[in-house]
A and B are shown apart, each in its own frame.
Chain A
Amino acid sequence: MEAIAAPPLGARRLRRLAAAYGQELVVLGALVVLMVGVGLYNPRFLSDTSLTSVFSGNAYIAVAAIGMSMVIITGNIDVSVGALIGVLGTIAGTLAVNGAPTWVSWGTPLLVGMAVNAVIGLLVAYARIPAIVVTLGMLSILRGGLISATGGKWISGLPSAFRLAQERFFGVPSGVFIAAILTVIAALWMRYSSTGRAIYAVGGNAEAARAAGVRTQGMLVLVFALHGFFAGIAAVLFATQLQVIQSTVPPNLEMSIITASVIGGVSILGGTGTVIGSTLAALLFSAIASALIFVNISAYWLRAVLGLLILGTVLADMARRRRKGRIQ
């Protein structure tokens, strides 16, 4: 059987790769061009310490974007994940400060994240409330809950064993390491497991998925719960970056995460995209952010540059899609 499938020409394989991973390759290309370009302009950009800070600071966004990508692939969306990460980070920190074993402080956010998002999944799948509405409501609940519980106070005095994000595994910052491992696992799982394939099926054509025997509603609950799990990991990474935990997360964190997914090639219409793309996009964002500093552009223009980049990618994606549609 291998003999039959083996001899596709190199060009054909490349074309297929380009078709399947087009957006990922675009993002990767942009990342490489940026690194080389800025590296030539200012070689310090490629030094170990700056690269480390570039990527480890945004690792939690990459992790959260994995779950978000799954949610978007099913044709849904979650605008509450930023607030959820804030809540889960605070839970982790509170546990750590109050002397809970490290594994409890790290593990609890994952479980709570899954539970909260499973509720979202249930409301979306069974009560048939649009995901944007459910998660808008959840955003208020979580954000309000967080601030009224903490009263805006920072958590300090974290035990040193707790600070996961400040560790290094095999010389790599733990955040980067974890983001990379999770991306690979999630990508393989989505590509090769039957459940992973079913997620694409639900987003691509729910009717056909149901006709093929996929339990679409259960699948939605599962995807939201997994998304909560990844949000939990992201929260632990976020909470352990510094010596203190602030009671707020960066404003519009959920938008950054959604953007990473979309720029990474996940179609907001559902059914297509990979988590590799979203991770690459998160890397690209942080690379752009620090590149601006290295080429002496004011950091104030960061978001405008990002915004233009997003817009450009989206327009290019639509143009590509339309061209494809015309051929068929």
Chain B
Amino acid sequence: MPSIVELKEVSKSFGGVAALRGVNFEVRPGEVHALLGENGAGKSTLIRIMSGALPPDAGEVYVSGERVRLGSPRDARARGIATVYQELLLFPDLTVAENIFLGNAPRKRFLALDWSAMRARARTLLDSLESRELDVDARLGDLSVANRQRVEIAKALSQEPRVLIMDEPTASLAEADVQRLMAVVRMLRDRGVAIVYVSHKLPEIFALADRVTVLRDGALIGTRAAKEVDEQGLISMMVGRSIDQLFPKEAAPLGEPLLEVEDLRYRHVVNGVSFSVRAGEILGIAGLVGSGRTETALTIFGITPATGGRIKVNGKPVIIDSPRRARDLGIAYVPEDRGLQGLIRVQTIRENVSLAILDRLSRLSVVNRKDELRRADEAITRFGIRARGPEMLVRQLSGGNQQKVVLGKWLGAEPRILIMDEPTRGIDVGAKSEVHALMSRLAQQGLAIVMISSELPEVLGMSDRVLVMSRGQVVASFDRAAATPDAVGAAMTHAGQERGAV
């Protein structure tokens, strides 16, 4: 069968980092084509190019065999390509019907909306999605996430697309809702819609997909018929390099426990977490997004002060009610969202590196510029930050070098406990192994490191111990020797199923 959308040799890079390198991809009417890859593999970039949100740097896009330029989402939609985004681009204050038809509402004369036609068509669309109980006049903000997603799908379907792109549609759904969603996807496929389905949940992919395409580090690894591959095969395609090829943690003598948390709680997102980390140890925390990993880190770091439980630093019980307090106790946190939480992108390397230690660099609160500049120079040399100099603006750096600035800032504070949240997300392979080598060195110097990561190979390669979290609790714990991909993966999946079932 001929393809309806085809990408040929498409490339795209951001600020010098290649996100896609010469990728081919096509999807045919009446098939579910799954797009698979780790975080940062290039899935999002690929679908954004397909949906007209990003222009490719190189390569060609064909729709129904005709070469096209998709300049905007509007263009793509006019050619029958609709997208259901992960972050649900909806308006909470509008009703369901209004959200579905925003931008292409049925009209009467004089630009007036045909209100009753709009509600009627919204009703029909939702009924066709087996969502008869959903009220078209309800305010979107009052709906559950699953229902909002149905609205987003109805919005995409309102334009009768020939291609429907779904970006991690089940990321925030409970299991029952996942089943309903999969039923909808099958129904659409049977109607002849071509579906591009992005996910990294393998069971879903085996249940739904006709074909699977795997991306890794921006490159196409391969496209296979779903029947021809098994779980193991897909994982090795996604992960590629075996765990040994990653920079492994070198052995370091373990010292006293530096950080101990006991029954830690924050509202309903951290539900009684207990663990301890010793000097020289790297503790990996695995789990799905929303499992409470990051929330636990934020609670320890004082961003969201604990509502229950105990924290001990160096064996002494402490109360951490602000990041300042955490910093003064020798805790550093390298956050998940570099641009938002880690860096002041419009400021220079010098200003960023000194931000957490200004008190130490100043006398009578006057900042010592010379000292500051020396520190920035040191950080550039020590972490191999590729920059013109300490006065370069941070936002002009690549992702990997930005991450090194964040590390430089926090290691300048000379912490004993380092919490790293997705330490290598969105940075290229070379920088990744540099960050891993650095972590290894820091552990040898006696730091206690807590590493949160979605990348299983990273967790397995770097950690002395691995915790698996789900629903705000630790559900499994492995020593280095016992932490095999199968065992940890099973704990994550099992926890995920349990999570859906409850």
Contacts and interface: CB of A to CB of B under 8 A. Distances in A.
Interface of A: 1, 4-5, 8, 16, 19-20, 192-195, 197-198, 200-201, 204-205, 207-209, 211-214, 271-272, 328
Q: Which 10 A-B pairs have the closest CB atoms?
A: A212-B103, A208-B89, A213-B103, A213-B74, A1-B120, A212-B102, A211-B73, A204-B91, A194-B105, A272-B93
B94 interface: yes
A205 B139 contact: no
Nearest to A324: B141
B249 interface: no
17 contacts: A1-B119, A1-B123, A4-B123, A5-B123, A5-B136, A16-B139, A16-B142, A194-B111, A200-B94, A205-B91, A207-B89, A208-B89, A208-B90, A208-B91, A214-B102, A271-B91, A328-B141
Contacts of A205: 89, 91
A30 B73 CA distance: 46
Contacts of A207: 89
Contacts of B91: 200-201, 204-205, 208, 271
Contacts of B119: 1, 5
B112 A192 contact: yes
Nearest to B83: A211
A193 B114 CA distance: 9
Contacts of A214: 102-103
Nearest to A211: B73
Contacts of A212: 89, 102-103
Given A193-B113, A328-B141, 6 more contacts: A5-B136, A16-B138, A16-B142, A19-B142, A192-B113, A194-B111
A270 B365 CA distance: 39
B270 to A, nearest CB: 16
B115 A192 contact: yes
Given A16-B139, A194-B113, A213 B93 contact: no
A8 B135 CA distance: 9
- Which of A4, A16, A20, A195 is the most central at the interface, judged by chain B CB atoms within 10 Å of its CB? A4
- Which of A8, A204, A211, A271 is the most central at the interface, judged by chain B CB atoms within 10 Å of its CB? A211
A211 B111 contact: no
A200 B112 contact: no
Nearest to B138: A16
A97 to B, nearest CB: 38
A302 to B, nearest CB: 34
Contacts of B102: 197-198, 201, 209, 212, 214
Interface of B: 53, 73-74, 77, 89-94, 98, 102-105, 107, 111-113, 115, 119-120, 123, 132, 135-139, 141-142
Given A1-B119, A208-B89, A272-B93, A20 B139 contact: yes
A49 B485 CA distance: 83
Contacts of B77: 213
A201 B101 CA distance: 12
Contact of A204 (B53, B92, B132, B142): B92
A201 B89 CA distance: 11
B71 to A, nearest CB: 13
A193 B112 contact: yes
A271 B105 contact: no
Given A1-B119, A212-B89, A193 B139 contact: no
B432 to A, nearest CB: 30
Contact of B93 (A4, A193, A204, A211): A204
B497 to A, nearest CB: 26
A20 B91 CA distance: 14
- Which of A1, A198, A200 is the most central at the interface, judged by chain B CB atoms within 10 Å of its CB? A1
Contacts of A192: 112-113, 115
A192 B119 CA distance: 12
Contacts of A4: 123, 132
A264 to B, nearest CB: 15
A209 B90 CA distance: 9
A142 to B, nearest CB: 32
Nearest to B116: A1
Contacts of B53: 211
Contacts of B141: 328
A195 B92 contact: no
Contacts of B89: 205, 207-208, 211-212
B114 to A, nearest CB: 10
Contacts of A193: 111-113
B93 A5 contact: no
A274 B77 CA distance: 32
A19 B139 contact: yes
Nearest to A204: B91
A209 B135 CA distance: 23
A8 B134 CA distance: 12
A166 B459 CA distance: 78
A195 B132 CA distance: 29
Nearest to A189: B112
Contacts of B90: 208
Nearest to A195: B111
